[in-house]
Amino acid sequence: MTRQERANYIASRLETLYPNVPVPLDHSSHYTLLIAVLLSAQCTDERVNKVTPVLFKKADTPSKMIKLSKEDIYLIIRPCGLAPKKSSAIYELSKTLIEKHNSQVPENFEDLEKLPGVGHKTASVVMSQGFGHPAFPVDTHIHRLAQRWGLSKGKNVQQTEKDLKKVFPRDKWNRLHLQIIFYGREYCSARGCNGTVCEICKTLYPNRKKPFVTNKA
């Protein structure tokens, strides 16, 4: 198979497996989605979804959030990784939204990525899952699968994102991002599949015998 043929098969198979792909992070607004995505870095969505109801009950808008102290925020989000850094980012970005964006989450990459604690991946999730703009957020899991499936040889998530955008139609980026995440968790996890176990890996590379070694992001 060529790279494009592999991409076409993957898109078709994932659409069959996951015709409905809910956003895995619970949220009720662009702001709460932004906070949830920020918290999800180095933390499972399941854990984030246990923490955010407590946080959002106290503060689900920027103005309510800055009424809490950074220590207050930290004590709530402590179960998530990097809690000290994230609590500071949540407070500071809430303050920035009030001062520069009329308390609204900006609907463009440039302004989103200027917010404290918000990188390109977080901005991409908000743009795609929040605002519905085509984006292809790439985390370490998608980076791993893209390499296992021969869609990218990128040595970092930035190159992998560029490679995936070339082989998948723009109007399918948002769905595919979620579909790949769901498939990776269910069938092609870091430990559960080494490139020779799951259905897609075996279909794409039936003659692969040795575990596939991924370039780390």
Residues with a known catalytic role: 121, 139
Among residues 51, 112, 114, 140, which one has the least CA distance to residue 87? 51
117 sits in the region (left: phi over 0; alpha: psi -120 to 50; else beta) called left
Torsion angle (degrees, nearest 10) of CA 200, 202, 206, 209 = 140
Both tokens assigned to 196: 């020779």
CA angle (199, 178, 200) in 5-degree steps: 10
**81 touches 41 (CB < 8 A):** yes
Residue in the block written with tokens 């709460």:
32
For residue 108, report the phi and psi dihedrals to the nearest 5 degrees. -155, 150
Helix (H, G, I), strand (E, B), or coil: what is residue 32?
A: helix
Q: Do 75 and 84 contact (CB within 8 A), yes or no?
A: no
Phi, psi at residue 155, to the nearest 5°? -90, 0
Residue listed under structure tokens 């920027």: 62
